[in-house]
Chains A and B, each alone.
Chain A
Amino acid sequence: MPGLTSDLGETSDVPFSSEVGPVVYPLRHGLKPPIAARFSISWSRGNSLRVSGFQSEADDSEVVRGKVVEVKLGSGDGEIDHSQWRRIAYGSVSPFALLQSRKNSMVAVSKMSAVSSPYDAEWSDYVMEYSREIGFLLGGHKLSLSVGIVDTKTVLKKVEEPTCLKAAWELMVIFYADHKSQAWTPEQLVDWLADYDSLLSGTQPTVHSKLVNFQKELASLQAIEDDDNYWEAISSVLAVGWLDVAVKMLRLHGSYQLNQVGSREIENGLVEAVAVLISKMPRMRLELAPGKLGEYFGTKPDFIKAWEKWRGQISKLDCSAFWVQCDHRQTREGLKNLLQIMLGNANILSSVTCHWMELHVSYLLHIRPFTMGLENMKNLAQKCMQFKPVSCPHKLMTLLLGILGENTEVVLAECSRSFGPWMVVHAAELLAAGNTQAEILLHEERHNLGGISMEELHRLVYAQVLSSHALTWQIGPIYLASCTKQGMALLKILLYKQPMHHNQILLKNIEICRLYELHKVSSKMMKIAGVHHWKHGKKGSGVFWLQQARDEIRLSRIAQQLFDFVGKSISDESFKQWEGLIELLGSESRIAGGLEFLHKYRDFKRSLQQVHDGIATNRAQKAAESLILLMKNPSTPQRFWLPLLYDSLKLLNWQEHPLLNVSQTNLLLNKLQELSIGKAMPFFCLSLLPLNALSSSRLLLFEVVSFSFIVEKLCT
């Protein structure tokens, strides 16, 4: 499902198009023109749409046939491959669920103690923990080492490619989750750009791309300091605050070579002095990663003091007499340029940076280190954009501008549109953390959305994306469970769309139903499985699942079918088959009356079978007794009377002596009489028996009754 865009035209003051036209995708169906006569569509699970293309009848080609293609919507722009996506999807479940449960318990506590704000320090810690865990998932390690010189001829070290998704996540963390570091936001942006500047290279040149180009040149350079690109590259990296790179590059200067130190002492002294100044640059931040240059100060007064002192040193060096003695023009000019950068010369900063974001960061570092608040940052960003306009804004920049513009709707829409449903669901937690306006916006129930909040909408959309894949649908319920209004209904639909005849999937579904107390859903699924198995020859599984589903209607139909079946024949094979089913059906259900009959009938058939196997009068006697019991029993369906009698012809006609007495035979005759009268009864069915079954039974019974009458008379 594509991201839901918001109509933001009136409220948005950042470049954000409100009239976004439909996204056009190609649909490669492989049919020859004239394009398929017809397309047919069908939504599969989640957000996958299947399109059948039918070849027009006019086309006689044997080669080209219609086909069905599946398109998955809103599943990312391909930056992250499928297996990686699944890893992220699975990995983010537990931090998300933990945060929800913490939120719920905090809300419960605050309700009890009537404390209105749940956003205390503890909550802030939880959100940071959540953001760290998710951040780790998006890219295991810190990427800030991506720029650095590992040996004399390598400026850039190759590390894992940063992703826009991770970059966007970090932006959200900086501005929404990391409340404790708010005073040091400018420095966080400097770090952020160092990590992700390469991502901006896609659309236009950046300091990173400049550095990459310089590295290619590096191997062929003899005297590096003669090359203008060398000085330009150092200026650029210094401007954006990659101090370690700047210092290491400075130390590639030819004057450091042992054979040159003597003749270029002053020159080398100046280079080193600048390098030392760079490495001592005061930074207003809480800490510096190991190996990073600069001196950090956590408080503004300390920083101001250090900064003024450091600037004083720069000015002093700038006015130094040694410059006159430096013969190498490029070195002199290059170093002077670096000093100007450190002194915050706006013109030079503008000329050495490429992207407006780089200019923005260089201002934050060298001109306005105290820039506080989003409003000021936004003004600065707008100023930088005037200097360095872009024709096609990068999605990360659109997101950043949304953040700086304090427009939660834009931020959400941009998260959804550019980074997909996963991002918007998980980042919404950061947005809502401590930002009341965002929280209201996210949680407000909207009539236009069918009475749900934006937070719920995004979760529903994400759950749908998850449910479109056989390997991720199982985590959909966790997100749906967090949707109080519509989550359960969507979960039910999702569960119904699983293939129930796969036992494992069915068991998983039943487990989910048990967890969320969806008993009706569970029983419907078992019903589907039961019917499938019953109709596909797995009668035992069929009955089992229908029993689990407590589907009395179908079970009693099955019992009816068994009756019908039982009435048909008495062959060994079929006897075994239905005998097993009678066992399975048990006697606990409401159809117990019918089953009681089936059990007795089974016993009767067993003894009859034994009679057929060999001549054993006592067994025959037993069978005859079973017959009478069956015929006396009111639960024996009337339509079985005749088949029973017909099956028992051999018993009735027992050669040795009559097995039935007069009253027993009379009972049978009466039953026959009833049958003859009730031929018109709805269940009366003779089709399965020989046409003369009734008359032959009757005839035989008359013989038996007269014979037993004689025997009884003789005995008395």
Chain B
Amino acid sequence: MEKTVATLDKGTICSSWNYSGQRMATGSTDGTLAIFDSVDSASSSFTCSSRSRVHEASIVKVVWVPPEYGDAVACIYADGTLSLWEEVVEDSRPLQWKLCKDFDKSSNQVLDVQFGVSLTGLKLVAAYSDGHLKVYELLDPLELKNWQLQAEFQNVIDSVSKFGKAACLSASVSWSPERGESQQLSFVLGFNSNIMQLNSAKVWEFDQDHQRWLPVAELALPEEKGDPVYAVAWAPNIGRPYEVIATATHKGIAIWHLGLNPDLDGRLSVEKVASLSGHEGGVWEMEWDMSGMTLATTGGDGVVRLWQSNLNGVWHEQAVFEPTI
């Protein structure tokens, strides 16, 4: 049933496929960024076409930039720094991967980064180990080197609440997949930290009128608000009258329905429609398929699981992939 599509380099610890599933970027412990390509678009066998040592420290996460901005990736390194690399041909030089942006090196580490495309341009949200998140905007759609910090805030509903110094182990960001033009740009973010207020997954929406980011929903039941969040994933919406978001905590995976229309306070209605348990040792990654009907997850148990809703709206585990030699 399964087929090997690529063999990874030794020391590879992360991988990411581009928008069409035709290129894969991988990161290694020695800071090497490798790119895998196939011979033609119909082939599903990928070999390494480029290897560049991009950093001294290990690459812990690779994220592709949306394709209308070029063939580029954001790399998060083990030392908490973040940079953008792009494949370009310049003048008469051959194709090369070139550093186009090193984001400011602060004392705080970058934990996760994701790109969102809005009508006005490309945005990047980065979550930091102090519980802050920064939203950057690309200034020139043809140059990935010019970014402007648009906003910086903490993942809390009540911005005046006071708490101690935050130490976050991980963070997970997921943009709402592109929808109609009338929809606002939004993302969901959750932390795994020592500060209860920061942890729960919150949906942030950009308020165009006041040019600021507002929390419009919190994806946690009252008794679970302090639970550290391991992963979040916003499902593509191909026409449902509500959004679907998955969040993962130590209690398992939760599936949420998020209303589309805000109430008087600007908040969106939230309903937890499923609590799924399965992965022992926590959830690592969650990804929705292109229709937003199937959720794939991996976790500490080294198993890949698929989840679906049946015709009655009941979520269940549909398939399990158990590793064997």
**Interface set of A (CB-CB < 8 Å, partner B):** 1-2, 4-7, 21-33, 35-55, 57, 62, 65-73, 409, 446-452, 454, 457, 460-461, 464, 467, 470-471, 485-486, 489-490, 493-494, 496-500, 502, 505, 524, 527-528, 531-532, 534-537, 553-554, 557-558, 561
Contact = CB atoms under 8 A, between A and B. Distances in A.
Contacts of A502: 41
Given A70-B3, A73-B319, A554-B142, A39 B304 contact: yes
A55 B239 contact: no
Contacts of B164: none
Contact of A4 (B1, B7, B311, B322): B311
Nearest to A530: B68
Contacts of B79: none
Given A30-B325, A43-B288, A71-B2, A452 B239 contact: yes
Interface stretch (B81-89, B127-135, B152-160): B81-89
B109 to A, nearest CB: 19
Sorted nearest first, the 10 A-B pairs with minimum C-beta distance are A537-B89, A448-B313, A450-B240, A489-B238, A486-B239, A44-B21, A470-B42, A66-B8, A27-B321, A22-B317
Contacts of A72: 1
Given A2-B306, A490-B290, A499-B20, A531 B142 contact: yes
Given A22-B317, A67-B4, A532-B71, A451 B240 contact: yes
Nearest to B321: A27
Contact of A23 (B70, B140, B320): B320
Given A36-B323, A40-B284, A528-B68, 4 more contacts: A28-B2, A67-B7, A451-B239, A554-B141
Nearest to A471: B42
Contacts of B67: 500, 528, 531-532
Contact of A50 (B17, B26, B291): B17
19 contacts: A4-B308, A4-B310, A22-B306, A24-B322, A39-B298, A47-B289, A49-B289, A54-B15, A68-B46, A73-B306, A450-B242, A451-B241, A460-B238, A460-B293, A490-B291, A527-B68, A536-B87, A537-B89, A557-B142
B225 interface: no
B59 interface: no
Contacts of A38: 13, 284, 298
Nearest to A27: B321
A493 B290 contact: yes
Contact of A42 (B8, B17, B44, B309): B17
A493 B16 CA distance: 19
B38 to A, nearest CB: 9
Contacts of B306: 2, 22, 49, 73
Contacts of B86: 535
B156 to A, nearest CB: 30
Given A68-B4, A450-B240, A554-B142, A28 B324 contact: yes
B264 interface: no
A204 B238 CA distance: 46
Contacts of B287: 41-43
A114 to B, nearest CB: 31
Contact of B312 (A31, A448, A498): A448
Interface string B291-308: 101101110001011101
Nearest to B288: A43
B325 A25 contact: no
A69 B5 contact: yes
Nearest to B88: A535
A38 B300 CA distance: 8
Nearest to A536: B89
Q: Could you say which interface size class chain B belongs to?
A: 35 or more
A493 B7 contact: no
B239 A43 contact: no
A467 B290 CA distance: 10
Given A54-B8, A561-B142, A41 B318 contact: no
Nearest to A546: B142
B194 interface: no
B236 interface: yes
B29 interface: yes
Greatest chain B CB density within 10 A among A7, A38, A52, A554 is at: A52
B185 interface: no
B241 to A, nearest CB: 6
Contacts of B241: 450-451
Contacts of A65: 7-10, 12
A363 B15 CA distance: 62
A534 B8 CA distance: 30
Given A70-B44, A535-B71, A45 B21 contact: yes
B20 A535 contact: no
A35 B302 contact: yes
B296 A524 contact: no
A35 to B, nearest CB: 5
Contacts of B99: none
B285 A486 contact: no
A2 B21 contact: no
A57 B291 CA distance: 36
B103 interface: no
Greatest chain B CB density within 10 A among A6, A22, A73 is at: A22
Given A4-B310, A27-B322, A536-B95, A70 B10 contact: no
B325 A33 contact: yes
B239 A489 contact: yes
A700 B323 CA distance: 79
B19 A22 contact: no
Contacts of A493: 236, 238, 290-291
A65 B310 CA distance: 38
Interface string B238-271: 1111100000000000000000000000000000
A535 B41 contact: no
B277 interface: no
A71 B4 CA distance: 9
Nearest to A30: B325
B69 interface: yes
B255 to A, nearest CB: 13
A497 to B, nearest CB: 5
B68 A497 contact: no
B222 to A, nearest CB: 26
B214 interface: no
A69 B95 CA distance: 28
Contacts of A558: 142
Given A24-B322, A451-B241, A536-B95, A39 B302 contact: yes
B21 A50 contact: yes
B14 interface: yes
A1 B294 contact: yes
A36 B8 CA distance: 13
B202 to A, nearest CB: 24
Contacts of A30: 4, 325
B54 interface: no
B184 interface: no
B93 to A, nearest CB: 9
B87 A535 contact: yes
A480 B90 CA distance: 41
Contacts of B240: 450-451, 486
B188 to A, nearest CB: 18
A41 B284 CA distance: 10
Nearest to B61: A40
B22 interface: yes
A45 B290 contact: yes
Contacts of B29: 57
A49 B325 contact: no
A47 B318 CA distance: 13
A91 B286 CA distance: 36
Contacts of B312: 6-7, 448
Contacts of A29: 323
B276 to A, nearest CB: 11
A534 B142 contact: yes
B70 A22 contact: no
Contacts of B44: 70, 470
Contact of B289 (A1, A31, A489, A498): A1
